Amino acid sequence: MLTKFIPFLFVILWSSGFIGAQYGLQFAEPATFLFIRMSINIILFISLLYCLKSILPKGKNALHSLISGFLIHGLYLGGTYQAIALGMPSGLCALIVGIQPILTAIILVSFQKQRLLLIQWIGLSIGFIGISLVVQGNMNWLNTDHKYIAYGFASIALFGITLGTLYQKRYCKDNNLIGCTIWQYIAALLVFLPIALFKENMAVTWNSQFVFGVMWLVLIVSVAAVLLLLYMIKQGSSSSVASIFYLVPPMTALQAWVVFNEQFSIQEAIGFTLAAMAVYLVSKKYTPNLSKVTIK
């Protein structure tokens, strides 16, 4: 009976990653914060590798894992954290990167001999309306001085997660999930370290709040949420997970309202609802293979 609620618990935990980012970025710059997070992730997943007796990909498979890690963790997480650091509300950031299934469908239609169904075209139209309502709304930005740059970084994150997921499904489908993720985190660490060294001062306000934010992202998002994902895959619930990913942006907006008092109007609430409907409609025929989904 309780297993029916696992997909929804997964979405709640997964959505909290955006909240954890905004929370921790109060005490460290984006690349520095991500360098610390990736370092801890690598240590934990190496431990998981040995505990689960998994296999670390080698040679060409390792290279493919590194490339997918650069796209997914380097561009996606890097773009997301930088956008939030520049003042973008976490709910809005989640909405922008949350249209990944829509962008994926467009790419597949553009480069493969596939066609969208009428219901999916309707979903695309609804999605653009929903996003427009949110973007034109009055969500409380922490800083509007670099608003368009923040949109640029959020767009980089969107393309990173979209292209990275497609790349992984194409070239990393036979890699061990835990081992592949270790290489991905290493690739991300190699991206964030030089940025932290040469573009940031690597200053961290080490206090209980920062430690809580980092450990939340590592233990709750990178470990607990992923273990729930693996459990659902094992139980044959991949389709259930895919069908509720559309809940991530509105769930993030709700969590941001509770934690940071991020306000959103009725117009923006309608926009989030329409965007969620759009992702659901478009992704119905483009359900990702979650057995090879990457770890956030």
Taking only the tens of pLDDT, the chain with its 296 residues reads 556 677 788 888 988 999 999 999 999 999 999 999 999 999 999 999 999 888 899 999 999 999 999 998 999 999 999 999 999 998 889 889 888 877 887 887 777 766 777 887 888 888 888 888 887 777 778 888 899 999 999 999 999 988 988 888 888 877 888 898 899 999 999 999 999 999 999 999 999 999 999 999 999 988 888 777 656 655 654 444 455 667 788 888 889 888 888 877 888 888 888 888 887 787 665 444 444 444 45
Distance between CA atoms of residues 53 and 47, nearest Å: 10
pTM (two decimals)? 0.85
Q: What three-state secondary structure class fits 280?
A: helix
Give me the helices (H) in 115-261, please.
118-135, 147-171, 177-198, 208-215, 226-234, 238-244, 248-260
Q: Please tell me whether residue 204 adopts helix, strand or coil conformation.
A: strand
- CA–CA dist 226, 119 (Å, integer): 31
Q: How far is CA 211 from the centre of its chain?
A: 21
**Rounded to an integer, what distance in angstroms lies between the CA atom of residue 174 and that of residue 182?**
15
